[in-house]
Amino acid sequence: MNGMGARRWESGDSFSAETRRIVAATEAMMAATAHHLSEGIENLRLKAIVHELPDFLYVKDRDSRFVFANAVVARSHGLENAAEIAGKRDFDMFDFETARRYFDIEQDIMSSGEPRIDMEELVPLPGGGTVCRLTSKIPLRNDNGEVVGLIGVSRDITERKRQEELYRGQANLLEMIARNEPLPMILEALVLMIERQMTGISGSVLLLDSEGTRLYHGAAPNLPGAYSRMIDGVAIGPKVGSCGTAAWRGETTIVADIMADPLWEDFRAMVSQFGFRSCWSTPICTSQKNVLGTFALYSKEPRRPTEHEMTLVALATHIAGIAIERKRVDDRIHFMAHHDDLTGLPNRAFLKERMAKILDQARRNNRKVTVAYIDLDNFKEINDTSGHAAGDEVLKEIAARMANCVRASDMVVRLGGDEFLVVLVHQSGHDAGIMRRLRELQKAISKPVRSEAGEIAVTSSIGIAAFPWDGATPEELLTNADRAMYRAKQLGRNTLQYHDGVVSNSVDLPLSEQEELRQAIVSNQLFLLYQPQVDVATGRIAGLEALVRWNHPTKGIVPPVKFIPLAEETGLIVPLGLWVLNEACRQARAWQDMGLTPLTIAVNVSPKQFADPDFACHVAEAIDSHRLSAHWLELEVTESVIMQDAARALSMMLSLRALGVRLSIDDFGSGYSSLAALKTFPFDRLKMDRSLVEALPADKTAVAIALAVISLAQTLKLSVLAEGVETDAQLEFLRHAGCEEAQGYRFSKPVAPEEIGVMLLARGA
């Protein structure tokens, strides 16, 4: 038995090697001085080593009184000589509450004989502030096995904890960016993360406006609100404090003493009331080095930042740059998705978003809404005779005139080509001026347009429908206004017609296209191509996506983007989708019957199909009739499926999962991809959108988002497939990032089933 009594180091003890070594050394010393604890340490050769240790080491007696402590312990209490600490208690050195906490723990250890290993404790420093220590306390026994004191070993882990918090904070911020959370929330979290890494520092983010002249508030959770308001909107310049100057120069501007630095001359009086003495500001830039804003740190001490602080600033500006750039891209995409390129007018998507709201408000306020469907007469002739550039000029000019003819509360939309829609919200129950305004608008359209090809005049046919009489929904109103417009055209053009409910079928042109598609479904004009999905690690084909095509009798092969939207609009997507589902199951069975290794077949499902209450039954019938095990079928849905009616979507998903079918979320990361959807809905797989993959690995923002998406998927135990992989560089990046599967032209375009059979046979499947 050694001098430490009954407690032995067991092989399973969870001490670090260093802790074991220190305590073993102390045990040896204690053994040598079993009866004279305090003298023993002093007399041993190991003494020097113990005092050199960077870790805290001490021995206390049964009353928690220091018997021995090494030099680090003494220094932490401001003592020159380690021997001075002998006889002292924590009550002599810490505030009562802290000392009491240590005392209670130590007494418990000594009375129970049970050590406490790796306790994380916050220790107050004599000069203020706290540090974090990892402490182990072990009871010390005499030869008779009685506890006579304890040995304490501690390590300062403050820096490690900070680093861990920084990594966690960074990961959290990237997740927030990937989840498209509001920019102010992301910037605030960023500032708070940096502030937690420093002492006595407050941070702020200012955003540069689109003209690049003024800085506006972005986030400053711990700066006084009054100060933030005062600097909100400040014009940048060569001598505008730290931030205005940093944005102007495009470089870090460190002002160590605001009260002395000429850059703050004009703002000194203003800032003095808040007590700030130093401010270090760094521009936040795009990957092309364009300034997006500034990240500033304020201190009430006049001082320069440390190297470590500047490293944190670099990290913060990098993350802020990603978040701001992503937001700007999103805003731009949103604008582009909702506006027409040529005329700048809102487009069909915008109309769809706004119209339901407009009608809701009109219903609540008992107002009328007039919808005018406008088609330019003989516009095709202008393109043919004067050229497309002249046609574009005419469209732009007419769009501007129409926008000038309506009130701010009204809306002019370009539906496409030479078709426009004007939505007029009546200002009172009896807005008699509406017809007059529409006639004025028609007159404005017909005024000649000056173009490079000379003066061009164009007339218009206008069909009118009004809420609530001619339709209760946006679709009904548009259809009726459209029909009225065709009647206007039939009546000799350059006229204006009200919807009267009677429309001749002969002018109902869109129906013929619809009829063609209906025919295509029943008369076998549709066919499927299959695109391989490849295991990134092995290169083997792991699955196939079925993609529909239309072999049109006169137009040839029509891609899905040309007819799926029409199928969606008309409801034909339900029979079309059913055909695709059955055909994919039939083909999968056929491959299996040929002896090929079974593969998952992914089928796209549209929101309308998903909303069909019989959809799960259709799926069950398809897999049963083709004797296909359900787990070989994967249904791909986009987020719009969930957004339309989340409760109904969830119930449908659960029914499908009950059948054993796999579910994947398609196009993830393309727009407003939501983390909530991933958590709430029972997906098996996430398909990372082509638009994101396209930007890899060159675009830093895309890289950050892709990494966040992959890490999210891993956390949620979803497999990840990257869509649209075209290059080796993309594949290499995805492999390193831990993405499991990929699909795209890098491996194969969508191909006919026969070719898939050949591919699989060639790979020995």
Ligand X SMILES: Nc1nc2c(ncn2[C@@H]2O[C@H](COP(=O)(O)O[C@H]3[C@@H](O)[C@H](n4cnc5c(=O)[nH]c(N)nc54)O[C@@H]3COP(=O)(O)O)[C@@H](O)[C@H]2O)c(=O)[nH]1
User: Which residues contribute to the site for ligand X (CB under 6 A)?
Assistant: 531, 545, 547-548, 559-561, 564, 577, 580, 604, 606, 666-667, 690, 723-726, 743-745, 750
d(CA 94, CA 73): 13
Q: Which is nearer to ligand X, 305 or 750 (CB)?
A: 750
- Which structure tokens are listed for 151? 């040995």
Q: Which is nearer to ligand X, 725 or 739 (CB)?
A: 725
Minimum CB–partner distance for residue 584 and ligand X (Å): 8
Minimum CB–partner distance for residue 272 and ligand X (Å): 59
Count of H helices and E strands in the chain?
A: 29, 27
Minimum CB–partner distance for residue 756 and ligand X (Å): 14
Minimum CB–partner distance for residue 517 and ligand X (Å): 13
Q: Which residue, among 238, 236, 231, 203, has the nearest Cα to 217 in the 3D structure? A: 231
Q: Which is nearer to ligand X, 508 or 755 (CB)?
A: 755
Residue 89 DSSP label = B
Q: Which residue, among 325, 182, 328, 208, has the nearest Cα to 703 in the 3D structure? A: 325
d(CA 760, CA 747): 13
Q: Which is nearer to ligand X, 27 or 583 (CB)?
A: 583
Contact partners, residue 256, CB within 8 Å, separation at least 6: 278, 302, 303, 304
d(CA 749, CA 125): 66
Q: Which residue, among 669, 648, 600, 656, has the nearest Cα to 628 in the 3D structure? A: 600
Q: Which residue is nearest to ligand X (CB)?
A: 744
Q: Which is nearer to ligand X, 36 or 749 (CB)?
A: 749
Minimum CB–partner distance for residue 607 and ligand X (Å): 9
Minimum CB–partner distance for residue 680 and ligand X (Å): 22
Q: Which is nearer to ligand X, 559 or 660 (CB)?
A: 559
Q: Which is nearer to ligand X, 580 or 622 (CB)?
A: 580
Question: Burial, 742: exposed, middle or buried (Cβ in 10 Å; 0-12, 13-18, 19+)?
Answer: buried
Minimum CB–partner distance for residue 500 and ligand X (Å): 37
d(CA 376, CA 381): 11
Residue 305 DSSP label = P
The CA distances from residue 200 to 277, 412, 626, 729, in Å, are 12, 54, 70, 45
Identify the bridge partners of residue 411 per DSSP, sorted by sequence position. Answer: 423
* Rama region for 492: left / alpha / beta (φ>0; ψ in -120 to 50; rest): left
Q: Which is nearer to ligand X, 357 or 749 (CB)?
A: 749
Minimum CB–partner distance for residue 547 and ligand X (Å): 4
Minimum CB–partner distance for residue 742 and ligand X (Å): 9
Q: Which is nearer to ligand X, 393 or 545 (CB)?
A: 545
Are the beta carbons of 346 and 340 closer than 8 angstroms? yes
Minimum CB–partner distance for residue 730 and ligand X (Å): 9
Residue the block writes with tokens 């209906």: 518
- Which structure tokens are listed for 622? 């398809």
Minimum CB–partner distance for residue 287 and ligand X (Å): 23
d(CA 579, CA 549): 12
Residue type, position 570, single letter: T
Q: Which is nearer to ligand X, 188 or 634 (CB)?
A: 634
Q: Which is nearer to ligand X, 302 or 560 (CB)?
A: 560
Minimum CB–partner distance for residue 560 and ligand X (Å): 3
Q: Which is nearer to ligand X, 548 or 601 (CB)?
A: 548
- Which structure tokens are listed for 502? 């009677």
Q: Which contacts qualify for 56-59: CB closer than 8 Å, 24 or more apart? A: 56/133, 56/135, 56/152, 56/153, 56/154, 56/155, 56/156, 57/22, 57/26, 57/151, 57/152, 57/153, 58/85, 58/151, 58/152, 59/26, 59/30, 59/140, 59/149, 59/150, 59/151, 59/152
Contact partners, residue 384, CB within 8 Å, separation at least 6: none
